[in-house]
A and B are shown apart, each in its own frame.
Chain A
Amino acid sequence: MKLRLKPAAAPYVLISPFLLLFLVFGLFPLVFSFVLMFHMWDPVKGLGSMEFVGLDNLRFAIEDPLVWTSLGNTLWMAVASGLPQHLVAIPLAYLINEKLGPWRNAAMGAYFLPYITSTVAIAIMFSTLFSTDYGMVNAALSELSRWPLLNAVLSDKNIDWLGNPETIKPVVSAVVFWRYLGFNVILYVAAMQSIPRDLYEAARMDGAKSWQQFFFITLPQLKPIMFFGVTLTVIGGLQLFEEPFILTGGKGGPEYAGMTTAMYMYRTAFDFNDFGLASAISWMLFVIILVMTLITNRAFKSKEGQS
């Protein structure tokens, strides 16, 4: 007997592998964490120990100074790593697209490489580079500080990059910037290639210079992809976890200067065994991401309306 699917059932059967996986690994955790938000739960005591506490977890989270510190850190690093990503990626993509010719793909590949490298490897590499006494960054700086003129600005003392609350955020932001720049470059190069060439030809015939073409053709045409890229950066920036987690040894660094909200949420659950509070923090973070995304959406929409 041949096994045959009824035409009406076929789509459901074919989609079921995804659906099942989504239900188990996507929807269930979502619903469970929503339920957890209203409960006090110490997981080692088993499922039976869940106790309904209403809005207590949310109230505790809102009054928790560490939640606010971590949110501040997250915003700081999201802006410091996110904004330069686009400010650098767009001109860089323009250069790669217009000027590099046959080297274009090689250049894009080089910029994209960090994106596909394991975060753990990257973070370990950077923690070695930024090491206080044995790191290359400090070695280079102390070499430069011996040069005339530069010695006025640079101190010959080693900077404790990852042990200093003032320097930890810039370091993490630099790593994140370096890592995701290539992704944005690819995004923008792809978008630039879809801009009709005749726009540029017409502009050239009218005597537009290279920079004018960039500002008056390329940039406006990039707006939809900019919206997409910025939205991804906003979401990714607010969910920042792996880079600061590894660079600060999983604890957030001195004075929690490198602890993001996602990290604090993870630590609340797995280091402090308070899953209810962790769920409340995660939903708080979700609302903030939602609002930020809506603001981004608004910002790009209104500009479109003007033009």
Chain B
Amino acid sequence: MKNKLLILICALAAQAAWAQKTTITVAAFPAVDDIVKAALPEWQKKNPNVEVKVVGREYADHHTAMTTALATSTGLPDIMTVEYGYLGRFSQSGGLEDLDKAPYNAAELTKRIVAFAVAQGRTSTHGQTALPTDIGPGAMFYRTDVLQKAKVTESELTQSWDSFVQSGQKIKKASGAYLVAHARDVKDIVIRTGIPEGEGVYFDAQGKSVIETSPRFKKGFEMAQKIRAEGLDAKINAWSNEWGESLKRGTVTVQMMGAWLGGHLQNWLAPNTAGLWRSTVLPERVATSWGGTFYAIPKNAKNKELAWDLVKHLTLNRQQQQMAFEKFNAFPALLEAQSGPFFEQPVAFLGGQKARVEWKTTASQIKPTQVFKNDSVAEEIVNAELDLVLNKNKPIDQALKDAHRLVQRRASR
């Protein structure tokens, strides 16, 4: 009997000690989960009694899990990581806190973050639903050895889209290498050039499709068609085995993507090509972005106060943002983190180029674009029509008309 009592007392005491520790959950995908984990020791110095559970899942699994969590309001994390591609749907769901309102009052703080990314996390109906932590300023990576062989200069690549195509022809003649991986990639940049403020890539402020009327699409389709007709694209999709192999062997000369591609090339895509790549601006100095990571707090989260404190640490702390850039290639969204010795350092993989400063300049020029719920359907439909133009010679005007009709049909549901 005595023994039993003792055990009971011990158990109660243990429970009491346990209860003092609060646990908050962060749901993330790679490598954001590692970034959060790396940030914790510093944050926990201020919050010794808070346990942080980082739930890492693969990119698609993570967003599917978050969709389910929002749908059923169960299993919601205190901090939800959202990638740019899913931001439109999640931020218009109404399930995320408006961080501009009390007790968060983020409006004052977001002035310290790159404006275009802050705007991406804001919706007209639900306010500032997410805060950006890293961004992907667009850059053009090219093989300097291939360019030298073909006697093409960097400025020929970037001057205009026409000179870009001409350089591609020279390269093909001199080395047999393709200019780009896929003609679609070129279309994707052109349709993101010169988007009027408040508009999205595919929709205007009212959510109506602009595919048929906006000159961006016609030009994008024409450029892609030209590139295909000249045989300048390898017809391979990014992230496929073929693509990795082409980057390794130098059969694709140019890859336009977020600045983070440099890190991927160096770490696993083509480590053997160190020193052969350079980074420059996109043709016609287009400033656009690829991806980006955001943190959001679900309305039904349990520990919003602590969650907000951790989000602030992750997004507004200079050391933390720089650490994420240095260790994990996550380009800081925080303006004050975009300077310092690391930015000035030459990048060995890019032949000693001071590329980070250039990426920073690009980041400062990117204009905010609205995201919409139906962006992914629209992208899909536009790409399918482009396939028909490229493979079946479907007239561009007809393709855009059809794409507009199909997108409008979806959007008006």
Identify the A interface with B (CB < 8 A): 40, 42-47, 60, 65, 127-128, 131-134, 160, 163-165, 249, 251, 254-256, 270-274
With A42-B93, A45-B95, A134-B242 as contacts: A255 and B387 at CB distance below 8 Å: yes
Given known A45-B95, A271-B376, contact A40–B413 (CB-CB < 8 A)? yes
Residue contact B93 to A254, C-beta cutoff 8 Å: no
Interface centre among A42, A128, A274 (most CB of B within 10 A): A42
**20 pairs from A and B in contact (CB 8 Å cutoff):** A40-B413, A44-B90, A45-B70, A46-B72, A46-B73, A47-B72, A47-B73, A60-B413, A131-B245, A133-B245, A134-B245, A163-B237, A164-B391, A165-B391, A249-B237, A256-B384, A270-B67, A272-B376, A273-B67, A273-B89
- A163 with B235: CB separation less than 8 A: yes
The interface residues of chain B lying within 8 Å CB-to-CB of A134 are 241-242, 245
Q: A43-B70, A270-B64 are in contact. Are A249 and B377 (CB under 8 A)?
A: no
B229 within 8 A of A: no
When distances are taken between beta carbons in the complex, the residues of chain A under 8 Å from B218 are none
Which of B68, B235, B246, B387 has a CB less than 8 Å from the CB of A43?
B68
Point out the residues of chain A lying under 8 angstroms from B373, CB to CB. 42, 273
B94 within 8 A of A: yes
- Please name the residue on chain A nearest to B245 by beta carbon: A134
Q: Is the CB of B384 within 8 A of A128?
A: no
| Max chain B Cβ within 10 angstroms of own Cβ: one of A43, A44, A163, A164 | A44
Q: Does B10 contact A (CB under 8 A)?
A: no
Do residues A133 and B242 form an inter-chain contact, with CB atoms below 8 A?
yes
Residues in chain B near residue A163, CB distance under 8 A: 235-237
Contact flags (1/0) for B78-94 with A, using CB distance below 8 Å? 00000000000110011
Interface residues on chain B, number (Cβ under 8 Å) = 36
- Chain B residues with Cβ below 8 Å from A251 are 380
Nearest chain-B residue to A270 (Cβ)?
Answer: B64
The CA of A270 and the CA of B73, in the complex, are separated in Å by 18
Closest chain A residue to B69, Cβ basis: A44
1/0 per residue, CB under 8 A from A, across B204-245: the answer is 000000000000000000000000000000011101111001
Nearest Cβ in chain B — how far from A74, in angstroms? 17
Indicate if B110 sits at the interface (CB-CB under 8 A).
Answer: no
With beta carbons under 8 angstroms apart, the residue of B71, B237, B388, B391 that contacts A47 is B71
Bound together, the chains give a CA A305 to CA B239 distance in angstroms of: 56
Chain B contacts for A42, CB-based, 8 A: 89, 93, 373
Q: In chain A, what residue has the closest Cβ to B71?
A: A43
A165 and B235 alpha carbons, distance in the complex (Å): 12
B387 touching A254, Cβ below 8 Å = yes
Is the Cβ of A46 less than 8 Å from the Cβ of B376?
no
- The answer to whether B251 has its CB under 8 Å from any CB of chain A is yes
Task: Give how many A-B residue pairs fall within 8 Å (CB-CB).
Answer: 81
Residue from the list B89, B246, B251, B384 in contact with A44, Cβ < 8 A: B89
Cβ of A160: which chain B residues have Cβ within 8 Å of it?
235
Q: Given A43-B70, A132-B235, A273-B373, 17 other A-B contacts at CB below 8 A?
A: A43-B67, A44-B93, A45-B93, A46-B95, A47-B72, A65-B406, A128-B241, A133-B251, A164-B391, A165-B387, A165-B391, A249-B237, A255-B387, A272-B374, A272-B380, A273-B67, A274-B413
Contacts A60-B413, A255-B388: A46 and B71 contacting too (C-beta < 8 A)?
A: yes
Give the CA-CA distance A44 to B87 in the complex, in Å.
Answer: 11
Task: Give chain A residues whose Cβ lies under 8 Å from the Cβ of B377.
Answer: 272
State the Cβ distance, A7 to closest chain B Cβ, in Å: 39
Chain A residues contacting B376 (CB-CB under 8 Å) are 271-272
Are A44 and B242 within 8 A (Cβ)? Answer: no
Q: In the bound complex, what is the Cα–Cα distance between A44 and B80 (angstroms)?
A: 13
* Chain A residue at minimal CB-CB distance from B402: A65
Least CB distance, A59 to chain B, in whole angstroms:
11
Closest CB-CB distance, B401 to chain A, in whole Å?
14
| CB nearest to A257 among chain B residues | B387
In the assembled complex, how far is the CB of residue B340 from the closest CB belonging to chain A, in whole angstroms? 38
Q: Closest 10 interchain pairs by CB? A: A44-B93, A43-B71, A44-B70, A254-B387, A255-B387, A272-B377, A45-B93, A163-B235, A43-B67, A273-B89
- In Å, the complex CA distance between A46 and B251 comes to 48
What CA separation (Å) do A190 and B123 show in the bound complex? 63
Contacts of B392 in A (CB 8 A): 255
Q: How far is the CB of A64 from chain B (nearest CB, A)?
A: 8
Compute how far the CA of A215 lies from the CA of B374 in the bound complex, rounded to whole angstroms: 58
Q: B239's closest neighbor in chain A, by CB?
A: A249
Which residue from B242, B380, B410 sits with its C-beta under 8 Å from A131? B242
Other-chain contact of A249, B235, B240, B251, B380 (Cβ < 8 Å): B240
Which residues of chain B come closer than 8 Å to A256, judged between CB atoms? 384
Closest chain B residue to A53, Cβ basis = B413
C-alpha gap A8/B59 in the complex (Å): 51
Q: Which residues of A contact B246 (CB under 8 A)?
A: 133
The interface residues of chain B lying within 8 Å CB-to-CB of A44 are: 66-67, 70-71, 89-90, 93, 95
CB neighbours of B251 from chain A (8 A): 133
Are A46 and B241 within 8 A (Cβ)?
no
A238 to chain B, nearest CB (A): 23
